[in-house]
C-alpha cells in the first residue's frame, strides 16, 4: 500500500473544503484535499448564485467552485481526485484510506464532506434536476418570480422555503404527506398566515410532469386514492438533508441527525486534531458563504493545533 504523511488533510470539495485549502496553503500547512464523488459539491447542481458576495452580477455555481479551486491550487494546495473510503481516527496521525487502496497519515484532518439533500427517488426528479426541480429555495427561488411552485415537505425547512418563495412567487403549493406539519408552531403559523400558500394535505407526489423546457406540473395522489395534477413551474424538495458523516461517526460525536458536533464557535470536534466545516456540521444555515467561512475557521484551528504540538 502507498503510504504518505500530510500535515493537513481536507476531505470534501465544496466551499468549506476549498476555503480551508486556501487558508491552509497560505499558512504553510501544505494541505492535501480530496474532492470526493461530486467535485464542487452541492453548488454545482444549482445554476446562478446571486447571493455570494463579490459577484455583482451573480456567478454560476460551477464557475464559483472552479474559481475557488483554482485559487486554492494557485496558492499551492494539493487538490486531488479521489474518495475517502475509510478512516481510523483512534490515534494520531489519523489513518485515511482513499479509493480503497491509498493510505494517508494525517496530522490534522478537516472534515468538509457536506450534506446531501434528500430526494423522493422519482425518475422524473432526476430528469428535471436543474430544469425546475431544486432542493434549495434560497438558491433558485429567484428564477420563479411571479410563477407557481410546489414545495414538498412539512418540516421547518419546507415552511421556511414556502414562506420565502411566497414572497417571490404568485402561488406556492405545499405538498404534505400527512394531515399535520412537523414544523415548529411558529413556522406553522407563518405558513397559515401567508395567503398565497396552499397546503395540499395527505398528498404524495407520483410524478413530476414536464417537457423539454422543464417542469410544467406534478401528479399527486391523495391518501384516499384520488390522483390529480397541479400546474407548477418549479418543484422544490424540502424533505431534509443527510450529513455525510458516516465514515467518521465512530470517533467524532454527531447529533441525532448525524451532524458533527463542534465546540462553540470553533470547528473543533471531540477528537483532538479533527475539525469539521460546512454542511456536515451545520443543520441550520447551509449557505455557500457560511460553509466557506467555517472552512476558514477550520484551517485556522488546524494551524493553531499544529503550532501547539
Ligand atoms: P425534517 O426532518 O424536520 O422534516 C422533513 C419533512 O419532510 C417532514 O414533514 C416529513 O414528513 C417530510 N418528508 C420526509 N420524507 C418525505 C417523503 N419521502 N415524501 C414526502 N414528505 C417527506 O427536516 P427539515 O429539513 O425540515 O428540518 C431539519 C432540522 O432542522 C429540524 O430539526 C428542523 O427543526 C431544523 N430547522 C430549523 C429551522 C429554524 O429553526 N428556522 C429551519 C430549518 C430547519 P413527516 O412529518 O410525515 O415525517
104 plus 172 within the same structural domain:
no
Last residue of a domain, one of 237, 258, 291: 237
- Sign, CA dihedral 226-131-170-137, equals positive
The per-residue pLDDT for range 107-137, each reduced to its tens digit, is 999 999 999 989 999 999 999 998 999 998 8
Beta strand pairing status for 78-80 and 32-34? parallel
Nearest alpha carbon to residue 291 among 67, 71, 15: 15
Alpha carbon of 229 to ligand 1 centroid (Å)? 24
Give catalytic status of residue 136 as yes or no: yes
193 plus 258 within the same structural domain:
no
The per-residue pLDDT for range 194-237, each reduced to its tens digit, is 999 999 999 999 999 999 999 999 999 999 999 999 999 999 99
Give catalytic status of residue 301 as yes or no: no
- pLDDT beneath 50, residues of the chain: none
pLDDT at 119: 95
84 plus 133 within the same structural domain:
no
25 plus 128 within the same structural domain:
no
Which of 180, 240, 254 most suits a substitution to test ligand 1, by most atoms within 8 Å of the C-beta? 240
**Does ligand 1 have an atom closer than 6 angstroms to the CB of 239?**
yes
For the chain, give me the number of helices (H) and strands (E)? 7, 19
Last residue of a domain, one of 237, 269, 296: 237
Phi and psi at 80, nearest 5°, equal -130, 150
Nearest atom of ligand 1 to the alpha carbon of 121: 18
Q: Cell digits for 309?
A: 504540538
233 plus 269 within the same structural domain:
no
109 plus 18 within the same structural domain:
yes
Q: Helix, strand or coil for residue 210?
A: strand
Nearest alpha carbon to residue 302 among 54, 92, 74: 92
CA distances from 213 to 43, 55, 131, 207 (A): 22, 28, 7, 17
110 plus 123 within the same structural domain:
no
Q: Cell digits for 244?
A: 455525510
Domain containing residue 25: 2-116+241-307
Phi and psi at 199, nearest 5°, equal -90, 130
Give catalytic status of residue 140 as yes or no: yes
Q: Are 89 and 252 in contact (CB under 8 A)?
A: yes
pTM of the predicted structure, to 2 decimals: 0.79
104 plus 157 within the same structural domain:
no
54 plus 42 within the same structural domain:
yes
Last residue of a domain, one of 237, 271, 287: 237
Task: Give the number of domains in the chain.
Answer: 2
Q: Helix, strand or coil for residue 303?
A: helix
Q: Are 139 and 49 in contact (CB under 8 A)?
A: yes
264 plus 213 within the same structural domain:
no
Nearest atom of ligand 1 to the alpha carbon of 239: 7
What CATH number does the domain containing 24 carry? 3.50.50.60
155 plus 256 within the same structural domain:
no
**Does ligand 1 have an atom closer than 6 angstroms to the CB of 182?**
yes
pLDDT at 2: 55
Q: Helix, strand or coil for residue 115?
A: strand
Dist CA 266 CA 260 (whole Å): 12
**Does ligand 1 have an atom closer than 6 angstroms to the CB of 283?**
yes
Amino acid at each position: 500500500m502507498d503510504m504518505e504523511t500530510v500535515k493537513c488533510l481536507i476531505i470534501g470539495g465544496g466551499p468549506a473544503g476549498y476555503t480551508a485549502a486556501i487558508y491552509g496553503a497560505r499558512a504553510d500547512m501544505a494541505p492535501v484535499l480530496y474532492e470526493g464523488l461530486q467535485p464542487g459539491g452541492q453548488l454545482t447542481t444549482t445554476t446562478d448564485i446571486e447571493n455570494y458576495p463579490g459577484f455583482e452580477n451573480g456567478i454560476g455555481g460551477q464557475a464559483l467552485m472552479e474559481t475557488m479551486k483554482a485559487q486554492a491550487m494557485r496558492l499551492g494546495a494539493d487538490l486531488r481526485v479521489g474518495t475517502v473510503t475509510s478512516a481510523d481516527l483512534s490515534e494520531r496521525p489519523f489513518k485515511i484510506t482513499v479509493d480503497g487502496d491509498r493510505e494517508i497519515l494525517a496530522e490534522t484532518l478537516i472534515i468538509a464532506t457536506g450534506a446531501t439533500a434528500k430526494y423522493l427517488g422519482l425518475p422524473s426528479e432526476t430528469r428535471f434536476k436543474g430544469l425546475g426541480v431544486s432542493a434549495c429555495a434560497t438558491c433558485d427561488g429567484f428564477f420563479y418570480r411571479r410563477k407557481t411552485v410546489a414545495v414538498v415537505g412539512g418540516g421547518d425547512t419546507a415552511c421556511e422555503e414556502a414562506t420565502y418563495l411566497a414572497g417571490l412567487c404568485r402561488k406556492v403549493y405545499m405538498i404534505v404527506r400527512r394531515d399535520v406539519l412537523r414544523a415548529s408552531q411558529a413556522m406553522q403559523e407563518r405558513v397559515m398566515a401567508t395567503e398565497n400558500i396552499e397546503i395540499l394535505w395527505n398528498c404524495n407526489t407520483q410524478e413530476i410532469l414536464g417537457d423539454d423546457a422543464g417542469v410544467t406540473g406534478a401528479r399527486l395522489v391523495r391518501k384516499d386514492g384520488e390522483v390529480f395534477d397541479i400546474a407548477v413551474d418549479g418543484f422544490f424538495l424540502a424533505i431534509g438533508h443527510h450529513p455525510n458523516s458516516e465514515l467518521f461517526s465512530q470517533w467524532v460525536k454527531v447529533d441525532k441527525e448525524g451532524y458533527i458536533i463542534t465546540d462553540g464557535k470553533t470547528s473543533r470536534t471531540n477528537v483532538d486534531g479533527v475539525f469539521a466545516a460546512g454542511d456536515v456540521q451545520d443543520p441550520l444555515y447551509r449557505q455557500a458563504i457560511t460553509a466557506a467561512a467555517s472552512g476558514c475557521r477550520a484551517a485556522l484551528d488546524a494551524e493553531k493545533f499544529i503550532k501547539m504540538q
